[in-house]
Chain A
Amino acid sequence: EAAVTQSPRNKVTVTGGNVTLSCRQTNSHNYMYWYRQDTGHGLRLIHYSYGAGNLQIGDVPDGYKATRTTQEDFFLLLELASPSQTSLYFCASSRDWGDYAEQFFGPGTRLTVL
């Protein structure tokens, strides 16, 4: 069973604040993803990575940076948080990039920007 953990589970910050969301997977998966989930929009891909040091841009990357420091760890950075970034953030991982590859999701981080 793939294990993806996220921290913190909840975070409140103010406009202009600096936030880092952490994700770790312990199943030696090559691919990791950051999504945001908003009511009425489903999940939207922010950034993804296929290995340490690699970063790819997703569909909604504006205002976000990401860094993959190791195969296990993928971070999402909001350097000047805005209220529009209030959302539920999910990290996911997959073994490979094949279209049939199942993505395993973490429990999510709820971020509120005041």
Chain B
Amino acid sequence: AQSVTQPDARVTVSEGASLQLRCKYSYSGTPYLFWYVQYPRQGLQLLLKYYSGDPVVQGVNGFEAEFIKSNSSFHLRKASVHWSDSAVYFCAVSAGVVGQLTFGRGTRLQVYA
């Protein structure tokens, strides 16, 4: 079975600073990896996804993530955050079986001016 660990429950950064949200997964095969964002009082929205190819994948709103197989990691990055990026971010992994999209516990990002 697969699992996802997001070690940081909360991250606080100032506007304009760079950001990295950590995600580590556990799965013996080749995973499908996702980052979702949840804005207040809304459902989850896909930021980016990765399966193969260039290990650095670009997403919406300037977000990117890097797949590092040797470290089983899929960290999310942004060069310069905006206050509107304040939200909860979820990393997820799919192991190739329909319906089995496993989510991490989420990281709440607070961006202050």
Name A residues whose Cβ lies closer than 8 Å to a Cβ of B.
4, 31, 33, 40-45, 48, 50, 56, 58, 90, 92, 97, 99-100, 102-103, 105-108
Given contacts A45-B101, A50-B98, A107 and B43 within 8 Å (CB-CB): yes
Return the chain B residue nearest A108 by Cβ: B43
Q: Are B105 and A90 in contact (CB under 8 A)?
A: no
A50 to B99, CA, bound (A): 9
Q: Are B105 and A41 in contact (CB under 8 A)?
A: yes
Cβ contacts under 8 Å, A31 to chain B = 98-99
Interchain residue pairs with CB less than 8 A apart (19): A4-B43, A31-B98, A31-B99, A42-B4, A42-B90, A43-B90, A43-B103, A44-B103, A45-B100, A48-B98, A48-B99, A99-B51, A99-B96, A100-B51, A103-B44, A103-B46, A105-B45, A107-B41, A107-B43
Q: Are A102 and B49 in contact (CB under 8 A)?
A: yes
Q: Are A42 and B105 in contact (CB under 8 A)?
A: yes
Return the chain A residue nearest B6 by Cβ: A42
Cβ contacts under 8 Å, A92 to chain B = 43-44
Cβ contacts under 8 Å, B101 to chain A = 45, 103
Cβ contacts under 8 Å, B94 to chain A = 99
Q: Other CB < 8 Å A-B pairs besides A45-B100, A105-B43, A107-B41, 11 of them?
A: A4-B43, A33-B99, A42-B90, A43-B44, A43-B90, A92-B43, A99-B32, A99-B96, A103-B46, A103-B101, A108-B43
A10 CB to closest chain B CB, in angstroms?
11
A104 to B106, CA, bound (A): 18
A8 CB to closest chain B CB, in angstroms?
14
Partner of B43, one of A41, A99, A106: A106
A106 to B103, CA, bound (A): 16
A45 to B42, CA, bound (A): 18
